[in-house]
Structure 1
């Protein structure tokens, strides 16, 4: 197949949206017609429209260079641009799929990690410099619309597969493991294992306070990342400040339902509570084991942003403790550690699979036109 590469401006008239279209503008001129910014969903609705039909648009800000096809009566603001066709032998879906990879390469700014924390730009001047290739036959003045449609269909199949992979990755991320505990067990409630009267710091213990009292003690927030010191480092032995050592912590907000075994001396934000073992259970339970079991049991209760996992909500969760055979039923630390190792390996493998899924789901598919 022969391709003809030419400046995008010979096929489209690129325009940027109107900066005047804001939420405030929408409030004053409310109506039924959507105004699109860089997001997929409309920014607002107004009583007029600038375009009526099916058009290619691109993100000028945010995720710079991503292309969307908009249909109907609508307007766009300055965070989005529009490509107005100058000829009829162009399949918009073909252009969307073949052009986006090139535009993403031209994007300037902060590149995110698998779609996170990105802020890039593709300006009007940048897109005017872009080239686009079209299949042609013996008459190079005409684009082959049937070949364009076939290529667009193939790209849609690829995107459907990427979307499926992304959905599977998301499902896998939230999945938990039900690992069998061998031998005999006894069940113990969380409030029997831990001293839930132990309190965390108050809401007055803020990042600002930590910055005003710098030191060497890490202050952890309710993050899913156990290595993230979200509040910085504070001085030791400050009056009224709670410090902890070698204990489990439990997120009641943020990444709700996450237990982390922390070693050494540390402090906590108000959104994290300490789970300090009662004296009766010291040297009898493996905290890594309890961490995994507690997270599994808590997940069954559906804790989340609107269903906080405070002390009263987890106090009656039952933790199965493996015990030795015999009349005394003493806790079996070896079995606990073996089960904890199985959980750890399972989650490490899951993280590796999720990472590979995310790479596939966010991989840019480039189109190479060759004669």
Structure 2
């Protein structure tokens, strides 16, 4: 097996070229306009959400739509949830808005994105006029991060944890070692609340210079259509990002959801869901292990798994014909046409999927 430093390679792709991965392709494209009977394994939003109590809180906020949004209570709730002062919290219209704000508001001479990962950070940086370097992690090494692969002169580094689409959870110590004065370290923890105990989380840390942690409430709580996330950073960084936001960027219903999702009841429910997801993921991995032609990336820690198999594009189309949508992997830098991402679902759904997969693979 190659060393970490040999497996992770820095590349500067320059301007996007026709052969470049489609950074704007996301999992919802696999199910947009799909028949109602299509089982969604392409989008990493937890099924059965939002729960009834959360929908009731959101619905109750509609009576106040005549007033402009007031995010103070939600901001205090997020701050208390992570043990931070409110000036270190910025509420955003989903984590995706945060990537745009970072790209536009923070100076960066040499931004670097660790791939494979969520493609929106690089797309936002490119749109803001930056030339983006890539650190490509290697499947042969389990997509593990070697901090030494990140160039010393990188002044903005973006990495996901657990990483979409690989589902790899990098040790907190490895990520913390990337922090240094003069560098902004952006850690995308959009799926961290799906990890039991949120082990390896950096949210709430105030001892690391330049640390920016992004969180999303859309995955665990089924709020992708509402758009709510937040940034945890120094007060100066939060202020710079806030100046780049339009007025009232987060709607009143989204603010109500953010406040509700930080209550002890909600945190306990999310913790229980993370344990259930871990069990369902183990079941999915065990069933995938029945196929000799499939290799799984990992160990997986998120609510999805990444698999490699021959002729994956044909398999994806054939699965769709059998009622299952899965996420193509070739739009992620560092992957290719033989990769697919599968969302973790309940065991009955997994068993139905594996039956269809067996038919496709023969």
- TM (norm. structure 1) is 0.26
Higher relative contact order (CA 8 A, sep 6+): 2
Question: Which structure: greater helix fraction?
Answer: 2
Specify the structure having the higher radius of gyration (Cα): 1
- TM (norm. structure 2) is 0.27
